[in-house]
Amino acid sequence: MNDPIRKTSTAALLLFIAVLVAITNIQVFQAPSLNADQRNKRTLYREFDNHRGPIIVDGEEIAYSTESDDDYGFQRIYKPGSLYAPVTGFFSVIVGRSGIERYSNSLLNGSSDSLWLNRIKQLTTGKISQGSSVELTIDAKVQQAAAKALGNQRGAAVAINVKTGAIVAMVSSPTYDPNELASHDRAAVAKKYQELLEEDGSPLTNRAIAGETYPPGSVFKLVTAAAALENDTSVDDLDGGTGFQLPQSTSVISNYGKGACASGGKIDLANALRISCNTAFADLGIRVGADNLLAQARSFGFDESLAIPLPVTSSRFPQTGDQAQTAIAAIGQGSVRVTPLQVAEISATIANGGKRMKPYLVSKVRTPDLQVQSETQPEQLGQPISSATAATLTDMMVSVVESGTGTKAQISGLKVAGKTGTAQTGDDGAPHAWFTGFAPANDPQIAVAVVVENGGSLGSEATGGAVAAPIAAAILKAGVSK
């Protein structure tokens, strides 16, 4: 073989090897990520040929597939669509997937590795490929109560089983109808999706766990109080005056209504929490210190990634040694940001004797022949506070509802523990109205967090006690087993 032929053969062999390596890389190593890519329409077309498993709440299918007489094979249906849309998301041949439809996709479409035996059975029997059913932790009664109480006001509500972490309600407003995105009319779906993207209020965003996080305002005082109690900070002579002068600053923190919290200028922690005294908690924040506040916030879940299995935006607490910023952060303002789920977790942890449980949305997964494929077991994530601190905070939160800022959360025949919040937004808009709490206070079952953006129907006149507390009461009443 002469030299030119040898070089040409070698080059051809190298090119063949390069092509073989590239094909192997794409077909083997990149296949999972390419199949999961939302832009891969071939995967969606193939999935529409499968009998996608249902999403179930309280034994009822809230998302299911029926045979269609077009090229797609099956039509996805959501019933009632808008009520559960923040949780289920949508499954669309045009715009992909979201919510449970996305993050439990391999289970619903039957491609999960755990379903290999089921796929073999379907192949050998000639049956249509079918996915698993996903049973949610949502309680239909509580979900309906939360949606009704929140109404058309922009905001979100979350309710959690305090003992297990199971999420029993999750609503976000405004919402949308996923049936309009599941349609096989490509032009109509594309038009509707664009409208939803441009619509004021971002209805596609699940405000309970994602999107822009919120300043918590005074509901964060539960974390500040917890840090004080855990670190044996002096809490009997807090600043109860008309204003708290921030160190090295000309700014003054005032109380609601610009008045004093105590006639003598001093107030204890229990009464400061009961009436939500800003000056007292600014003082307390500096006494506790930035490092202890940060450690306490993180023990509750701040600055932590979480999936339920939907991804949850991390709540944030600023790292600062500046006393003025620490005082502002201690009352839930400044750079502190939270999701409603994070706030519900704080109350749930207090209600559960200081034990923090991992929140979750999926209860069970069943194969097409209804065998239990997997079942979520409650998981403790930590112990942010002692049982003694939890008991002390519970007593204080009961006083908030009985005779403090949260009286509109009272429920006849039921002892409720809670905390209000009215959070300044920093953009000259009306404040966000918050309430978080749990019931029954003497034997807790359910914890809740409610946020109503920019005061809802009351606007700039809103407070957490006036706007969010009644919503929370409706949810707690629906969720407590008498």
pTM of the shown model: 0.89
What is the Cα Rg of the chain in Å?
26
CA atoms within 13 A on the CB side of 29: 5
Give the torsion sign (CA, 140, 144, 147, 150). Answer: negative
CA 64 from chain centre, in angstroms, equals 24
CA atoms within 13 A on the CB side of 268: 5
| Lookup: tokens for 326 | 């620490």
Told to judge if 183 belongs to the known catalytic residues of this protein, a careful annotator would answer no
d(CA 242, CA 280): 10
Which residue intervals of the chain bear CATH 3.90.1310.10?
45-136+178-198
Distance set, CA 68 to CA 51, 81, 184, 192, 349 (Å): 11, 19, 10, 21, 47
Give the torsion sign (CA, 87, 92, 96, 102). Answer: positive
For 147-206, write each residue's pLDDT tens digit: 999 999 999 999 999 999 999 999 999 999 999 999 999 999 999 999 999 999 999 999
DSSP string spanning 369-420? Answer: T--EEEEPPP-EEE-SS-HHHHHHHHHHHHHHHHHSTTGGG-BTTB--EEEE
The domain 219-480 belongs to what CATH superfamily? DD-peptidase/beta-lactamase superfamily (3.40.710.10)
d(CA 169, CA 107): 22
| Lookup: tokens for 45 | 């077309």
Of 301, 92, 308, nearest to 180 by C-alpha is 92
d(CA 294, CA 285): 11
Q: What is the pLDDT along the chain (482 residues), one digit of tens a residue?
A: 567 777 777 778 888 887 888 777 777 677 666 665 555 555 555 566 678 999 999 999 999 999 998 888 899 999 988 999 999 999 998 999 999 999 999 999 988 666 655 555 555 655 556 899 999 999 999 999 999 999 999 999 999 999 999 999 999 999 999 999 999 999 999 999 999 999 999 999 999 999 889 999 999 999 999 999 999 999 999 999 999 999 989 999 999 989 999 988 999 999 999 999 999 999 999 999 999 999 999 999 999 999 999 999 999 999 877 999 999 999 999 999 999 999 999 999 999 999 999 999 999 999 988 899 999 999 999 999 999 999 999 999 999 999 999 999 999 999 999 999 999 987 778 999 999 999 999 999 999 999 999 998 888 788 999 999 999 999 999 999 85
Please state which CATH class domain 45-136+178-198 belongs to: alpha beta
Which residue intervals of the chain bear CATH 3.40.710.10?
219-480
Task: Summarize the chain as % helix, strand, coil (round to 5).
Answer: 45, 20, 35
d(CA 71, CA 69): 7
Q: At what angle do helices 387-403 and 221-230 cross, to 10 degrees?
A: 140
Are 347 and 222 in contact, with CB atoms under 8 Å apart? yes
Are 98 and 89 in contact, with CB atoms under 8 Å apart? yes
d(CA 348, CA 158): 11
Amino acid sitting at position 239: D
Q: Choose, from 98, 111, 133, 218, the residue flagged as catalytic.
A: 218
Distance set, CA 386 to CA 223, 382, 393 (Å): 13, 11, 11
